[in-house]
Structure 1
Amino acid sequence: MRPYLIVLGLLVGGSSLHLAAGYPAGLTAATLLDGSGLPGILFWSSELPRIAMALLVGAALGLAGSTMQEITRNPLGSPSTLGTIAGAWLALMVATVFWPDFAARHGVWICLLGGLGVTALVLTVSGLARMDGIVVIVVGMATNLFLGGAALILALLNGDSVQAVFVWSAGDLTQTGWADARWLAPQIAAGAILLLALARPLSIMRLGQDAAKARGLAVLPLVIALLGLAVWLTAASIAVVGAIGFIGLIAPNVVRLLGVRAVVPSLLLGALVGAASLALTDAIPVALNDWSRTLIPSGSSAALIGAPVLILVAFRQLRPESAGGFHMAWGLEHCPRLLIPTLCAAALAALALAIGFGASPDGPVWIGDQSERIRGMILALRWPSVVAAAGAGALLATIGVILQRLLRNPLASPDVLGVTAGATFVAVGGVVFLGLPAAQIAIPSAALGAFAVLILLSFLWQRSETPPAILILTGIALAALLDAMIQFAMARAGEEAYDLLAWKTGATSLASPPGAATLCATAVAIFGLTFALRRWLTLLSLGEGMAAARGVGVIPARRILLTLVAAGAGSVVAWVGPISFIGLLAPHAATMLGARRVGQQLVAATALGAILLVAAEVTGRFVAYPNQLPAGVVAALIGGGYLFVLLLLSLLRRRGL
């Protein structure tokens, strides 16, 4: 009975804290229960329904997460990490854009199909036999990144039709009555009853798939049924309150720490812990409601607790052998003779074409066809964004090569490891909390944030000999935590929040002429220094022992290289905002083209990074005409898809397909 008492205490304590956060201490219970005054009306029509909704949604997500972990036998399995929430949310956004009336009537079914489809895709790509390892989680998180970019582009392209839905995507438990709670309660009850009815075959599944089949259990139909019920609970919650992540990860791990092992108690306590967790985390935005200028999303407060849990579970509960690794398809064995000059010429050509061609209702327009006065105006407006895109792309590619070589990790990049998020958080915090002018503190504060994240990750990697996939997962979780903290900071911002929001999308179009020139100069300087230190990178990528035996001071060399990475990531974030995936994509593309040596890879990746981000800038210009999509958003969509395909090809290659 002890675990039940602990969970019951958490449930009561979370609800009480939530209630205490919503009202002044001097307010009496009689005043609230009377319901006649304004506090009483707010209590019965808003605060109490919000607590009820937090408990219901938390119970649904906790039960869904417990079920997914039972299916996968993976302590990291949850609707957040397997792509369920991202798939359901993107499906609802697409339906809202193209079939708004249908989406309004059948939102829960749309979320169900989207969540089920993406979860099935993640499990299929990683393989049902590998559900208990880190591979399925990395695939799921990569899918989340890709779908998040797609959702952001959809929101920017369709404006008013999905603006409210997109804002709601961060999770909003605000209630104006009991209608939503009355609808959600029976959905959760039905799902819970069906899951408990399948408890016996689920307990047999714990013996392993082969042992379950030997006992006559139809494993695949059972997995489909259980997965469908877990996704249904998630979809029903999303349809009512939006996307709230990590609760499904926290709850079953807390139950496991309490020593509960039987299937039925684990499921029931998972639901109760989920309810208590969301009630506790939702007390944060309620308590800060007067402090912030805008409502803090409930999903962000859940991420503040869920992301550290993801990191701790990854390090403490996953077996090292379950982490696996990734063997990338390297492509060409040797670098073609004309590859490097061709890529450099292509980068210069892309720069010239991006400046010369513009969008119009009739298609591309060449700047030479305009009058001299208009040509000068267009050049003055266009060249800073194009040059900034080229500089940022080249710089991200350079530091991506450094990270992949230094950490000997083929998935390392500044955004995937959370370095970009660290730079963004410190830069935003300096503006919002300290009131410092962005132009003066952006570069040093962003570089400081990037360097702090790099030190943390390097310490974890060196101290525990972390497998590459777990280090990547740690970076992704750290980025989620920092993103939640950024949302908290931006909720506190006033008028500067609009500028920060545009900057946060990676809008190279906002770059000033001095900023574009400075960014390019920084890219050239860091590339030159890295190229001069290419011998260090070559030896360090072979192992620290090899580097030390060849006379390289490992510690000083690592510090210098990490300083270059921090300066590069901080410069990009400071001048054009956070941009994802270029630091991952460009080094891999260079290697696949045959540029295997460090010097060759540096030059090829830098040229490819400039080409890719300039192409993203031009794509955003043409796709959204007369508006412009931020280059960072387009790059996130392209890079997220590339990362997913890269993981798929790696896993297929491992299976010999």
Structure 2
Amino acid sequence: MTLRPVAAAALFALAAALFLAGLARALPPGEWLAALLSPQPDDVSALLVHYTVFPRAATALAAGASLALSGLVLQIALDNPLAEPSTTGVSAGAVLALAVFGSAGLGGASQSLVALGGGLAAAAVTLGLALRGGLRPATVVIAGLVLGFAASAATTLIALFNHEWMRALFLWSSGSLRQNDWSAAARLTPLLALAWIAAGCLARAFTLSSLRDEGAAALGGNPRIIRLTALALAAGLAALTTAEVGAIAFIGLAAPHFARATGARTMADRLLWTPIFGAGLLWLTDEAVKLIPLDLPTGAATGLLGAPLLMALAARLRLPSLAPVPISAPSQRLRPAWGLLLFGCIVALAAALFLDRAADGWSLAAPAQALDWRVPRTIAAFGAGAAIAVAGALLQRMTGNVMASPDMIGVSAGAALGFLVLLYAAPAAGPAAQLAAGALGAGLAALWALKGLKRGGAPEQPLLLGVGLAAAFTGVVSFLLASGDPRMALAVVWLSGSTYLVDGQRALVILAVAAGGLSAALTLARPLALLPLGPAARSSGLRIRQAQALTIALASVLTAAATLVIGPLSFVGLVAPHAARGLGCRSPLSLLAGSALVGGALLAVADWIGRVALFPYEIPAGIVAMLLGGAAALVALMKSP
């Protein structure tokens, strides 16, 4: 017997055992069948079981299979092992739609319709931008990620000023499987069946797609039609599922890797087993959540329970290294636009330091005032932005993967987790203790990411290990948010990427780290030029594993430093290297330097806008950076041929 049936059976057996144990506490076993088929109107326990317990299990199975199938189709269509349903921006669009209309007191069918409309609108925008870019996988991924980041930033901004009703939105957006009837399961099951059949009919086309565009075209396939069909199927399925159960992350990423790790190699096997693993994983997670005496959404726990499994499998998984891909639209410039980059940095710093808004309007700040109050924040913002941007450029160049960003190696999550643990264990701890706790978490995460390179794995393997760690961290944060603890108010501000608490000493430290990190990164120019070639780089005398380890270690240090000073800034590390390429920075040397300038200027401007846009209120720089960078990236994608 192969490993796939055994692993699937173990998942379902454990989930079923927990389900039956909970069912036994509600009803005697002899009454289960009657409660399922025709409960007596005067039997309250039987009615609860019929309308809540059984529908919840059925919804978990259908939703898990749907998200897993959506993730698999996206990974095939985009030829990217890190793709998942959120890649199309569907989940973020659905949550934003509910945040915008949440004050109207939505519920029931109206809430599902609004969420469905937001998810489908986000998917339509992503596909529209991808069509303008020729449906290249890189363009699809960038469009979806940028749209998702921008929508998430807008939702967070709304949440900062609407605490009274945003907790209910958080509970929904984290994926709640609580049911009052069979309607969600009745809608999801036929949709899943149709999508599964459609995916099976496209198995040959997906096989051609796995040969990349040139191979598929040589065998008579149309890569653009295949990709468009796959993206529409995956996005539509994710939008419909999100509308029913909320935004449940991680299942769409993890299930395809579970299937692959247990031996599903052919396209038919992957299409068959991936939804099965997704259904079992979500059902098991939901049953485990019921054991926790807290109203914790199931989606918040998927990372906590599923991440260790993904990390264990990723440590054994042998992924083929990705070939070099066009991770941004070709630039029309032959040389980097250094003049434009330097001018933009000067303007950004000047505005952040001297352009002020007060109760009596706009004014220019005096040099003494700027030195006392604004220099530390501006220096910290510029240094953190530059550090995280260089880390992003290192990772994207090393892997050739458009989705590689600093948060994917788990260092940012590790630093944040260390900070939160200290916040709960010792709320009165000072800055030194906070830095020490964050540094410890970041260091452990970096060691975990480096583990992925010890056994000859592909460069994407550390990213999968980091994604698993980040998913577990997200689950911890969701758990803490659901607890309603007042200490999370400070954590939310810090997690949004804020310079509120930065002093002169921290500002100088992060600037020095950014400068030193950039200098060290420039010495890796030759390895970075060869690493995207994969195993062929060995013929040039490059020690691939050592070069990869040095790259990840340097990216980890830069990410940890920026995270500890300001908070997680993942979007800057993702978008800055793409912006630098768009300005002509193609070689490793120019890409690293250009990314540092773009990232530093972006975060400095974001910090300034956060101070003046809604005066006297302030918006965290991380949120503004996501909105600014997302808008600029979407405009660039719309203008690209």
Same fold (TM over 0.5): yes
Going from structure 1 to structure 2, the CA distance change for 1:187 and 1:587 (only over 3 Å counts) comes to closer
Shift of 1:171: 0.9
Q: Is the partner of 1:357 in helix, strand or coil?
A: strand
Shift of 1:278: 0.9
Question: Could you tell me which residue of structure 1 aligns to residue 417 of structure 2?
Answer: 425
Aligned pairs (5 A) from 1:391-540 = 391-398=380-387, 400-401=389-390, 404=393, 408-409=397-398, 414-415=406-407, 417-432=409-424, 437=429, 439-460=431-452, 464=456, 466=458, 475=466, 478-488=469-479, 491=482, 494-508=485-499, 510-511=500-501, 515-527=502-514, 529-530=516-517, 536-537=523-524
Question: Could you tell me which residue of structure 2 aligns to residue 239 of structure 1?
Answer: 243
Counterpart Cα distance in 1 of 2:139 and 2:472? 21
Question: Could you tell me which residue of structure 1 aligns to residue 605 of structure 2?
Answer: 615
For residues 328-385 of structure 1, the C-alpha deviation after alignment (integer angstroms, 9 at most, x for no partner) is: 75786667897898567545522322xx51255x8645668xxxxxx99xx69x9657
Going from structure 1 to structure 2, the CA distance change for 1:119 and 1:261 (only over 3 Å counts) comes to farther
Question: Could you tell me which residue of structure 2 aligns to residue 149 of structure 1?
Answer: 153
Q: Is the partner of 1:174 in helix, strand or coil?
A: coil
For residues 450-471 of structure 1, the C-alpha deviation after alignment (integer angstroms, 9 at most, x for no partner) is: 233334444535864745x776
- Does the Cα contact within 8 Å between 1:153 and 1:629 map onto a contact in 2? yes
- Does the Cα contact within 8 Å between 1:247 and 1:278 map onto a contact in 2? yes
Counterpart Cα distance in 2 of 1:392 and 1:215? 51
For residues 9-54 of structure 1, the C-alpha deviation after alignment (integer angstroms, 9 at most, x for no partner) is: 6435313324647998x99758998999998786566544433432
Code of the aligned partner of 1:392:
A
Shift of 1:243: 0.6
Q: Is the partner of 2:452 in helix, strand or coil?
A: helix
Shift of 1:308: 6.3
Going from structure 1 to structure 2, the CA distance change for 1:526 and 1:560 (only over 3 Å counts) comes to farther
* 1:14 equivalent in alignment to 2:15: yes
Shift of 1:572: 3.9
- Does the Cα contact within 8 Å between 1:91 and 1:111 map onto a contact in 2? yes
Which of 540, 544, 567 is the equivalent residue of 1:577? Answer: 567
Question: Could you tell me which residue of structure 2 aligns to residue 297 of structure 1?
Answer: 297
Q: Is the partner of 1:296 in helix, strand or coil?
A: coil
Code of the aligned partner of 2:114:
G
Going from structure 1 to structure 2, the CA distance change for 1:330 and 1:28 (only over 3 Å counts) comes to same
Q: Which 10-residue stretch deviates more, 46-55 or 239-248?
A: 46-55
Shift of 1:303: 2.8
- Does the Cα contact within 8 Å between 1:82 and 1:119 map onto a contact in 2? yes
Counterpart Cα distance in 2 of 1:472 and 1:167? 28
Shift of 1:430: 2.8
Going from structure 1 to structure 2, the CA distance change for 1:29 and 1:323 (only over 3 Å counts) comes to farther
- Does the Cα contact within 8 Å between 1:399 and 1:414 map onto a contact in 2? yes
- Does the Cα contact within 8 Å between 1:91 and 1:114 map onto a contact in 2? no
Question: Could you tell me which residue of structure 1 aligns to residue 186 of structure 2?
Answer: 186
Query: What is the TM-score when the length of structure 1 is the normalising length?
Result: 0.72
Sequence identity, in percent? 28
Code of the aligned partner of 1:387:
P
Code of the aligned partner of 2:623:
V
Going from structure 1 to structure 2, the CA distance change for 1:459 and 1:479 (only over 3 Å counts) comes to same
- Does the Cα contact within 8 Å between 1:149 and 1:636 map onto a contact in 2? yes
- Does the Cα contact within 8 Å between 1:522 and 1:568 map onto a contact in 2? no
State the superposition RMSD in angstroms: 5.6
Counterpart Cα distance in 2 of 1:405 and 1:264? 36
- Does the Cα contact within 8 Å between 1:392 and 1:613 map onto a contact in 2? yes
Question: Could you tell me which residue of structure 2 aligns to residue 60 of structure 1?
Answer: 66
Code of the aligned partner of 1:629:
I
Query: What is the TM-score when the length of structure 2 is the normalising length?
Result: 0.73
Counterpart Cα distance in 2 of 1:5 and 1:561? 38
Shift of 1:287: 2.4
For residues 262-315 of structure 1, the C-alpha deviation after alignment (integer angstroms, 9 at most, x for no partner) is: 98987665544433221111233322335xxxx333213223455567775799
Going from structure 1 to structure 2, the CA distance change for 1:343 and 1:202 (only over 3 Å counts) comes to closer
Counterpart Cα distance in 1 of 2:554 and 2:256? 41
Counterpart Cα distance in 1 of 2:392 and 2:229? 42
Shift of 1:110: 0.9
- Does the Cα contact within 8 Å between 2:353 and 2:374 map onto a contact in 1? no
Going from structure 1 to structure 2, the CA distance change for 1:55 and 1:520 (only over 3 Å counts) comes to same
Q: Is the partner of 1:208 in helix, strand or coil?
A: helix
Counterpart Cα distance in 2 of 1:572 and 1:607? 15
- Does the Cα contact within 8 Å between 1:195 and 1:226 map onto a contact in 2? no
Q: Which 10-residue stretch deviates more, 496-505 or 409-418?
A: 409-418
Question: Could you tell me which residue of structure 2 aligns to residue 86 of structure 1?
Answer: 92
* 1:320 equivalent in alignment to 2:312: no
Tell which structure's C-alpha radius of gyration is larger.
1
- Does the Cα contact within 8 Å between 1:396 and 1:582 map onto a contact in 2? yes
Counterpart Cα distance in 1 of 2:202 and 2:622? 44
Q: Which 10-residue stretch deviates more, 577-586 or 535-544?
A: 535-544
Code of the aligned partner of 2:474:
D
Going from structure 1 to structure 2, the CA distance change for 1:498 and 1:589 (only over 3 Å counts) comes to same
Going from structure 1 to structure 2, the CA distance change for 1:474 and 1:171 (only over 3 Å counts) comes to same
Counterpart Cα distance in 1 of 2:638 and 2:348? 29
Counterpart Cα distance in 2 of 1:208 and 1:496? 52
Q: Is the partner of 2:178 in helix, strand or coil?
A: coil
Question: Could you tell me which residue of structure 2 aligns to residue 107 of structure 1?
Answer: 114
Going from structure 1 to structure 2, the CA distance change for 1:164 and 1:255 (only over 3 Å counts) comes to same
Going from structure 1 to structure 2, the CA distance change for 1:195 and 1:248 (only over 3 Å counts) comes to same
Going from structure 1 to structure 2, the CA distance change for 1:359 and 1:465 (only over 3 Å counts) comes to farther
Code of the aligned partner of 1:320:
S
Q: Is the partner of 2:570 in helix, strand or coil?
A: coil
Which of 371, 390, 410 is the equivalent residue of 2:379? Answer: 390
- Does the Cα contact within 8 Å between 1:184 and 1:236 map onto a contact in 2? no
* 1:277 equivalent in alignment to 2:264: no
Counterpart Cα distance in 2 of 1:141 and 1:568? 22
Shift of 1:389: 4.3
Code of the aligned partner of 1:51:
A
Aligned pairs (5 A) from 1:339-354 = 345-346=346-347, 348-353=349-354
Question: Could you tell me which residue of structure 2 aligns to residue 634 of structure 1?
Answer: 624
Question: Could you tell me which residue of structure 1 aligns to residue 357 of structure 2?
Answer: 358
- Does the Cα contact within 8 Å between 2:411 and 2:443 map onto a contact in 1? yes
